[in-house]
Each structure stands twice: as C-alpha cells, then as structure tokens.
Amino acid sequence: MKKLIKNGTIVTASETFQADLYLENGKITGIGQSQTFGPVDETIDAAGCYVFPGGVDPHTHLDMPFGGTVTKDNFETGTIGAAFGGTTTIIDFCLTEKGKPLQQAIQTWHDKSAGKAAIDYSFHLMIGEMTEAVLNELPSVITNEGITSFKVFMAYKNVFQADDATLFETLIKAKELGALVMVHAENGDVIDYLTKQALAKGQTDPIYHALTRPVEAEGEATGRACKLTALAGSQLYVVHVTCAEAVNQIEEARKQGADIWGETCPQYLVLDEDALRKPNFEGAKYVWSPPLRPKEHQAALWNALKTGALQTIGSDQCSFDFDGQKSLGKDDFTKIPNGGPIVEDRMSILYSEGVEKGRISLNQFVDLTSTRAAKLFGMYPKKGTISVGADADLVVFDPSVERTLSAKTHHLAVDYNAFEGMNVKGLPRTVLSRGQVIIKDGMYVGSPGDGSFIKRSTYGNTLSNEKVEQ
Ligand SMILES: NC(=O)NCCC(=O)O
Ligand SMILES: [Zn+2]
Ligand SMILES: [Zn+2]
C-alpha cells in the first residue's frame, strides 16, 4: 500500500518545512513534491497540520505488578491510549526478581506484550542485584534480546531498591557492554525512616507520601548516581526528575563532562504537591514517586527543558484505578499504589503548555518527545525522525483544535484522568505506525498485536554528535 501525506508542515528536531511524504512498505521513501512520487493508493491531507515523527515514550509500566495489585492498563489498552496521544513507540520496564534468571523476566514481559501491543515497543531491564549469574547473563541480554538499557532503583526499600555496589557494578558492566544505565534517584533509606516516623505519628493521608520524600532525598541520590557514573566512566539516564535540586546535580555533572541525561514527565510540569491535599482521599490520584513538588519547581523544570539541562519527556505511565486500587491506601498512604495515567496526554501537554505558551520551540518539542529518546536508546533514525528510510511512524497534528482532557474522553482503561478538566490546544488527528493508519477521525483503526518488539542498538551507536552539544 503506497500512501501520500500532502500539504503538511514537516517538523523534525532541527527543521520545519513544507513538504509531502511518500510512504511505501511501512517506510518513508520520499520527501518533497507529490508530483515526483510514484502511484498512490491512499492520500492523507495534512493541510493546516504539522506532521511530526511519532512520539517515543521511553518510560512506561504496563501490566506491571506493584503494591499488591497490577496496573490497570496493559499492553493493549496502554498502547492504544499512547497511539491516540501521538506516541508510536514505547519502552517499558521489565521487572526482574532477585535469584531468578533475567531471561525468565524477559520472557514474562514478551508474554505480556506479544499479540497485544498496538504500536512498536521495547524493554529496559531492571537490575536488582549484581551476582555472578546476572553478570553472565547480561551479554546475551544485549546481543540476543537487543535490550540495551538497565534500570536500577535507588528507592522502594525492601521491594525494588538496589544498593550502591549494585549500581556501581551495573555502571561498570554497562560501559563494557554498551548499555545505558537508568536510575530512579531517591534515597530509599532516608525515605523509609521518614515514612516510619510519619506513620508512628498517625500521619496516614496521601499528602504524607510527598512530605516523607523531600527534594533533598532526590537531590542526594541524583548527585550520588552522577558521581558513581563519573567514577565508573560510564553513562547514566536519570528518570522522572522532579525538582531543582536534582536538575542542578545533573547540570553540574554534565558541565564536568559526565555522560549523563535527564528526563522529566508532564505531571511534574503542570501539577503540584497541593493536589495530594485534595479532600475525600482524592489526593491518592496524585501519588507518584518521586512526588509532585511545590509549584516553584515547575519553572526550574521548564527552564531545564529549554536550556537542555534535561533532554527527554517520559510519561512514567503506571495507572491504577482510583476505585479499588488507589483505595488500598485509604488508611495508610504507604499502601497507595504509586503512579498515574499519562501516556495518552504526554505529547498534548508538552505541546500545549510548552510550544503554545512559548516555553519551548516546535523543534525542541519533537526532540524532547521523540528524537532524543530514539537516539539515546538505540533506535535512531529508524524511529524518532522524518527522513528517507525511517519507519513511517507519523502524527498529523492539528494545532487549531481546542479540547479538554478528561477520563470521559480518554482511551485508557483507568477510571480517572490526572489532568481532568485541563484545556489543551492541539490534537493528533491521524497517527500512522509503520505506514499503517492506526488513529483516524477519533477512532482506533489498527489491530492490537500489530506492534512489534524492537531490538535496539548499543548505547552511543545512534547518538551521533550528542556529546558535543553538552
Ligand atoms: N513513579 C511512580 O510513582 N510509579 C511507577 C514506578 C516508578 O517509576 O518508580
Ligand atoms: Zn521510578
Ligand atoms: Zn517509572
């Protein structure tokens, strides 16, 4: 099937120009004037619209067990929601268990996703301990599985938290194998202490989730991870950065020449700590780790996106129903499953709050939501850009549409929307995954299972000149 997208404004991370696109066999094969292309089976008119590369969301948790329950959105509902929002590739976190083979965990994640995903996907692999067995398995994780990023949690004591030795050895091994190490940077031991103190005083409401995870705990862990990375001469990606304290640590380490990258998420840019104070336990909808911060941190995060101190936007999609799941923590905030539904609104919020409000440029928007993640995680230029030979993962985005975000209109399975009632400008009108139209006129027209697992290149191979930009 040969397709033509005509009359659109093409936007990449570095350019904005008028051109038509010719798509054949799932790839972009022509960029220019439609008269010069071959025969066409289907034409999509993008007049008045931007044409973006499909979004690359480097941070999702679908069908993930957490806190005695499992995320409401799985690989089918989560990737359909992602597609409605203009995201055509996700990288999900594959959880591992201590003492069990990594391969077993990877197989579990393949079983969760195969035949369900509506868009292409890959996995990051959690490292919870560094044993001989883990060390022996890692080379095949890279070469056979194409999983080239490892995740270490510095928080969630007695659950996911790894010690510094594990982090350091992971950094060293990642350097040798060409993997990118990712960290959830919060000091889990300090948080554990503060949490016990709060509960002993009878402080059980959702707001105490935020008050027991202070910015210092995130700043300290971020700084520690940065220093260990520099010592190991390795590479690091800090997920879900929420506060000025953490941004400063990343910025400082990058100035010293360390190979360190930082991600923030839409929720930290537009919501603040006061959301956790909502009455009738509604604050539970806004429980993330790290937590939402006092409002002044939002300006620091926007500024970091503008200046390049942070380079990507992940959703940290990790949804739990308010009814029946978040409510597990009604009498004890530590039992509220952490996370929220963001994957569908990630790009809309960044466009509306970022580009429309003059905080970032259109090209920065594309870089932050697509290109940079594709480069860092070994998928560029197949994913993350509009160029001849790239996968035809494309979004026809209509900037003139004004709409209101709501659980009544979103496409995720979860029973609330964290941005309920927020007005945004712009709508992904048509979305294509490898040349196939999957979103059209407000409908999902693809088939779950059409998304493919992506084996990724090792770190640095698709980065091109990123390091010079620091
Ligand atoms: N962020 C969050 O609250 N939930 C998902 C798990 C994680 O990323 O830490
Ligand atoms: Zn995390
Ligand atoms: Zn996460």
Q: At what angle do helices 215-232 and 164-177 cross, to 10 degrees?
A: 40
Return the ligand number nearest the Cα of 64: 1
Check if the beta carbon of residue 164 is closer than 8 Å to that of residue 224. yes
pTM of the model: 0.98
Q: How far apart are CA 164 and CA 359, in angstroms?
A: 37
pLDDT along the chain (470 residues), means of 10: 97 98 98 96 98 99 97 98 99 98 98 98 98 98 98 98 98 98 98 98 98 98 98 98 98 98 99 98 98 98 98 98 98 98 98 98 98 98 98 98 98 98 98 98 97 97 52
Boundaries of every domain in the chain? 3-52+392-412+422-444, 55-376
Task: Specify the CATH architecture of the domain 55-376.
Answer: Alpha-Beta Barrel (3.20)
Give pLDDT, residue 466.
45
Is 61 near ligand 1, meaning CB less than 6 Å away?
yes
Is 318 near ligand 1, meaning CB less than 6 Å away?
yes
Q: How far apart are CA 301 and CA 262, in angstroms?
A: 11
- Testing ligand 1's pocket by substitution, the residue of 289, 292, 335 carrying the most ligand atoms inside 8 A of its CB is 289
- Supply the residue whose CA is at minimum distance from atom 2 of ligand 1: 339
Instruction: Measure 186 CA to ligand 2 centroid, in angstroms.
Output: 9
Instruction: Measure 21 CA to ligand 1 centroid, in angstroms.
Output: 38
- What is 3-52+392-412+422-444's CATH number? 2.30.40.10
Burial class from Cβ neighbours inside 10 Å (0-12, 13-18, 19+) for residue 285 reads buried
- Supply the residue whose CA is at minimum distance from atom 9 of ligand 1: 289
The region, left, alpha or beta by phi > 0 then psi within -120 to 50, assigned to residue 399 is: alpha
- What protein residues have CB closer than 5 angstroms to ion ligand 2? 184
Instruction: Measure 392 CA to ligand 2 centroid, in angstroms.
Output: 31
Instruction: Measure 289 CA to ligand 1 centroid, in angstroms.
Output: 5
Return the ligand number nearest the Cα of 152: 2
Q: Which two tokens stand for residue 301?
A: 């995060």
Q: How far apart are CA 195 and CA 214, in angstroms?
A: 11
- Residue 118, CA distances (Å) to 56, 65, 245, 368, 455 in order: 14, 21, 38, 22, 17
Give pLDDT, residue 461.
82
Ligand 1 atom index nearest CA of 160 = 9
Give pLDDT, residue 462.
77
Instruction: Measure 359 CA to ligand 3 centroid, in angstroms.
Output: 25
Return the ligand number nearest the Cα of 284: 1
Give pLDDT, residue 414.
98
DSSP 25-45: TTEEEEEE-GGGS---SEEEE
Q: Is the reported ipTM for this assembly greater than 0.90? A: yes
